[in-house]
Amino acid sequence: MKNHVYRPLFLVIAFVVAVLIAREIVVPEDFGTHEAGYMYGWHRKGNEQEWKDFKVKYQGKDYCKLCHQDKVDKISQTPHVIINCENCHGPAVKMARVDGKIHWKNPTYTKHGEDTFENHIDRTREQCLRCHAKLPYKGSGREWVRGINNTEHNPDMECVMCHNPHSPGFG
């Protein structure tokens, strides 16, 4: 056959070989179909472990109990027992000492990668109003939480001036 037929053919073969070699280098060894099968299973197996190793932030009440037994006991006598401490105090990521006080390192992610040290006590009215703002929503869960009218119930004052969040009633 003529040379001009072979030349493009060699080019095509060289291209295919180059792609196959590149694929061999770029695609990780653990890339495959795995358990979920051909339709939904294509992935890099190592990624599963990467997600499992993702940092856990919220620790739960049992963790706070280790050092704040008194607070846990107190809140347990009140309807607020159902609220996780970290909802009002932020996730307990890591304890750290700042200005001689123990705080935990609490990432707020407003600027990514920059963890901020904060005093994590949410004293705002907004925090309490999440559950206690009176809404006329019959049928929703809000129905059975006693609500207050934000503009009438002692406005311009923090709720915690009068109510202890760990023991909110006066009884």
Partner 1 sequence: MISRRGFLKYGASALATSGLITTTSGKIFAAAGSGSKDTRWAFLIDTHKCTGCGLCVKACKLENEVPMEANATRTWVERYVIKHDGEVVADSPHAGIDGYTRNDPQGREIPESDIAKSYFVPKLCNQCEKPACVQVCPVGATYQTADGVVLVDRTWCIGCGYCIMACPYGARFFHPVFRVAEKCNWCYHRITKGMDTACVEACSFGARMVGNIMDPNDPLTKIIKTERVSLLKEEYGTSPMAYYIGLDTLVR
By CB under 6 A, name the binding residues for ligand HEC. 59, 61, 63-64, 66-68, 71-72, 75, 78-80, 83, 85-89, 92, 95, 101-102, 119, 121, 123, 125, 127-132, 145-146, 148, 153-154, 157, 159-163, 165-166, 168-171
The reply to whether 71 sits near partner 1 by the rule CB under 8 A is: no
Q: Which of 134, 126, 62, 122 is nearest to 87 (CA)?
A: 122
**Residue holding tokens 């653990």?**
30
Q: How far is the CB of 105 from ligand HEC (least distance, A)?
A: 13
Residue 142: name its binding partner from partner 1, ligand HEC, none (Cβ under 5 to 8 Å by kind).
partner 1
List 54, 97, 114, 152, residue binding partner 1 (CB under 8 A): 54
Q: CB atoms < 10 A from the CB of 149, how many?
A: 10
